[in-house]
Structure 1
């Protein structure tokens, strides 16, 4: 009797291919449905909750269309199969060990004295930057294919449950479309673009960019960009007005009426492009959506931050190094001086002499302004950054470098023609090259790694050891 009762309590559904799934705990809930775990660790079920028959059929046709689209290579838990009647929903696959991003925001302690420790406990700045980088890359790739995501919010972004990792996926792909949805202004409270909240515009790639900016600001500072003192201390109508775009954001350069003094300040990122991008999005882009930064711009800025982030040997938090550190850099959280063992890799473009008559002329080196830092115990892949329109495509010509106990190790990767130079001596770099820790500081000349043929324009990475 007990066994029979247990079986009867199981909620089972089937897909159109005949596979059966047990609906277990609820994972997330949104405006259109509920996501459940199943007996399979990497299989989820999305159930559509709208009872309107026309809405159900329209939704089902859209999901059927979505299953036939090329979404390969994207970190999206895309629909694999529809549920069999009378159910409305679909099956999707998601790697194990991921949880909603909302949990990262909900778990934050707002007390000022606890903020640094809590920020570190949840992975620090580096993890947040890498989560946002993966999210920006996915949205950039989606937009490059002529599609938009739609209802972007912390409940449909899934990240690693281990703070040491930053794997990031999008689920709930119901709103993905080739164009603005006809008549659809669905959005999650706090994350909808002002024109969508007001009902003046449909979802588009520009509304995706707004939602991403809100998420990015909130994840990095644990403040909503429009919930400052004016909103938090005011009546509920003030918050509604702010989300409609009627109040300034918390760091508005022209109007400080809605400032915010809680949690982490934007100065945490002052040595990056992010403050300017936030300003463009939340000021110029508040009423002119076309002024908002593209996802490619967000991606480029985030990658540059990741390359200049280091771990403090004092408190263990991660901080951003300034582009120019002639003065001594220190940890944002504890003021401990930056690790003096950091190695700086600077990128240059080499322009060889244009004619044979000048073949003995020195190669001209033009600094790109890109600087990548490597800390003991870490590794980095030095990759050429392509123009933003194709920023999601990584080239083959790059190098992996690690900094271990014995020193620096340089690993050339496949399809990569490399040369290493110090002073006048240049030789091909065809296999692993090690630089011993004990040799550090013994040479005045900088090392240069040439990526490509020496007689042609190519990238040079310069560093001192």
Structure 2
């Protein structure tokens, strides 16, 4: 995790020249961007190209004897996913034993995930839909990493940069990525390490990555650690030693149905919000957290894998609406016709559902800019948030009229609410009204109109 810097004896001087091993070129050190436990990061110029230089502290190079070979291997390999900021080339300076590497620069519009814990006004505040997208992207990235037989070993929110508008993710600090079964330079970050690592029973692996990833997801959706309930609040001091002892005591999940001793502390508006957020989440998503932080705390084989998280986060990002009374975000779930309108778990007001389409397990509000992807219309398709097959568009002269545009090369068969057959040819748009049904070939979507808002007496 990076922090603001002050002058240190080992820091590189502005204008310092360094060499790149593979490119055979020289680079020039620019301003310092930040510093962490392993090293410092600087802007640099390599032949007119702006890159970032990570330069390791001398004691880290001395202690971590496999660090250089790990970095050299990463340089020689293609990243398993474009979201990983892998090293581009090895950097050295004549007369110095330490070394570093150059990597792409993170653009200034990206925000560190760790800002989720910053005090206002610097706190990272995103919509639930955007946080679900962030979690989806992280799960997909680590699925690609683990499929390559690699593990990250140090997942924590300090390793991610977030696009606060679209939810895109960049993953930095690849220093400890190594092959399954081999130990990198660290065991993990406090609070994110799997219980078996804390107990000294295992080294980092793809299974321990799954635990750390789930902690990140809980932070994203609930702004808090899943084990920091009443027991953690009762700690008199919070040092690394007392927190390590706390984790070794195997505290239960805040919402463990079989052990209520570590529930969120009462009488605090934030924890009231957290509890309401948990209540609002779809049961299928709550079940994933319950599995990970109950059975999964004791048995690594019970942990939720990336594909399950991807499916749950894809459904979550589709279905969020807001309470009209307090603006609390309420995820919707597919429900039979006639199901009562949901209640806001924060203020208990009725939450009218917008015009929406149900497609199997997915419910998508038909709001402008919404997209349908292959997994929405085909139950056999891989879950992906790329290459949309349909978009919800606003009529160019009447913003109250919305339609669904066919972005595929094939025509869709459909029917209106009164049963009239229709054909939606490629590139054309059909108006979205109550009762509209569309046969996409492998799955049918059915539109339900917006709920009527109950009138109150004057």
* Same fold, judged at TM 0.5 (above): yes
Name the counterpart of 1:460. Answer: 444
- Give the unaligned 5+ runs of structure 2: 1-11, 450-458
2:271 equivalent to 1:240? no
Name the counterpart of 2:146. Answer: 143
- Provide the C-alpha distance between the structure 1 equivalents of 2:426 and 2:166, rounded to a whole number of angstroms: 32
Deviation of the 1:82 alpha carbon:
1.0
Q: 1:102 to 1:424 in 2, by over 3 A?
A: same
CA contact under 8 A between 1:314 and 1:336: conserved in structure 2? yes
- Provide the C-alpha distance between the structure 2 equivalents of 1:70 and 1:386, rounded to a whole number of angstroms: 33
- Provide the C-alpha distance between the structure 2 equivalents of 1:374 and 1:286, rounded to a whole number of angstroms: 39
Q: 1:447 to 1:322 in 2, by over 3 A?
A: closer
Name the counterpart of 1:338. Answer: 351
2:439 equivalent to 1:450? yes
2:288 equivalent to 1:294? no
- The counterpart of 1:36, out of the listed 20, 42, 47, is 42
Q: Secondary structure at the match of 1:27?
A: strand
Q: 1:380 to 1:316 in 2, by over 3 A?
A: farther
CA contact under 8 A between 1:28 and 1:155: conserved in structure 2? no
Name the counterpart of 2:104. Answer: 93
Name the counterpart of 2:20. Answer: 15
Deviation of the 1:345 alpha carbon:
1.0
Paired residues for 1:332-371 under 5 Å: 332-333=345-346, 337-338=350-351, 342-347=354-359, 368-371=360-363
Q: 1:218 to 1:427 in 2, by over 3 A?
A: closer
- Provide the C-alpha distance between the structure 1 equivalents of 2:295 and 2:126, rounded to a whole number of angstroms: 32
- Provide the C-alpha distance between the structure 1 equivalents of 2:147 and 2:412, rounded to a whole number of angstroms: 32
- Provide the C-alpha distance between the structure 2 equivalents of 1:297 and 1:274, rounded to a whole number of angstroms: 9
Q: 1:397 to 1:208 in 2, by over 3 A?
A: same
Deviation of the 1:430 alpha carbon:
2.1
- Provide the C-alpha distance between the structure 1 equivalents of 2:63 and 2:277, rounded to a whole number of angstroms: 45
- The counterpart of 1:407, out of the listed 381, 401, 404, is 401
2:426 equivalent to 1:430? yes
- Provide the C-alpha distance between the structure 1 equivalents of 2:216 and 2:314, rounded to a whole number of angstroms: 17
Q: 1:289 to 1:276 in 2, by over 3 A?
A: same
Q: 1:168 to 1:421 in 2, by over 3 A?
A: same
Name the counterpart of 1:304. Answer: 315
- Provide the C-alpha distance between the structure 2 equivalents of 1:389 and 1:227, rounded to a whole number of angstroms: 39
CA contact under 8 A between 1:183 and 1:202: conserved in structure 2? no
Q: Secondary structure at the match of 2:66?
A: helix
Deviation of the 1:209 alpha carbon:
0.9
Paired residues for 1:180-219 under 5 Å: 180-182=181-183, 185-219=186-220
- Provide the C-alpha distance between the structure 2 equivalents of 1:219 and 1:397, rounded to a whole number of angstroms: 25
Q: 1:52 to 1:179 in 2, by over 3 A?
A: same
Q: 1:35 to 1:333 in 2, by over 3 A?
A: farther
Moved more, 100-109 or 304-313: 100-109
Q: Secondary structure at the match of 1:265?
A: helix
Name the counterpart of 1:384. Answer: 375
Q: 1:225 to 1:307 in 2, by over 3 A?
A: same
Deviation of the 1:339 alpha carbon:
5.0
CA contact under 8 A between 2:375 and 2:381: conserved in structure 1? no
- Provide the C-alpha distance between the structure 2 equivalents of 1:175 and 1:385, rounded to a whole number of angstroms: 37
Q: 1:247 to 1:316 in 2, by over 3 A?
A: closer
Deviation per CA, 1:343-364: give whole Å up to 9, x if none: 22112xxxxxxxxxxxxxxxxx
How large is the Cα RMSD of the aligned pairs?
Answer: 3.3
- Provide the C-alpha distance between the structure 1 equivalents of 2:74 and 2:403, rounded to a whole number of angstroms: 45
What is the aligned residue count? 413
- Provide the C-alpha distance between the structure 2 equivalents of 1:332 and 1:254, rounded to a whole number of angstroms: 22
Q: Secondary structure at the match of 1:142?
A: helix
Q: 1:224 to 1:94 in 2, by over 3 A?
A: same
Moved more, 305-314 or 51-60: 51-60
The TM-score, its normalising length taken from structure 1, stands at 0.78
Q: 1:94 to 1:309 in 2, by over 3 A?
A: farther
The TM-score, its normalising length taken from structure 2, stands at 0.79
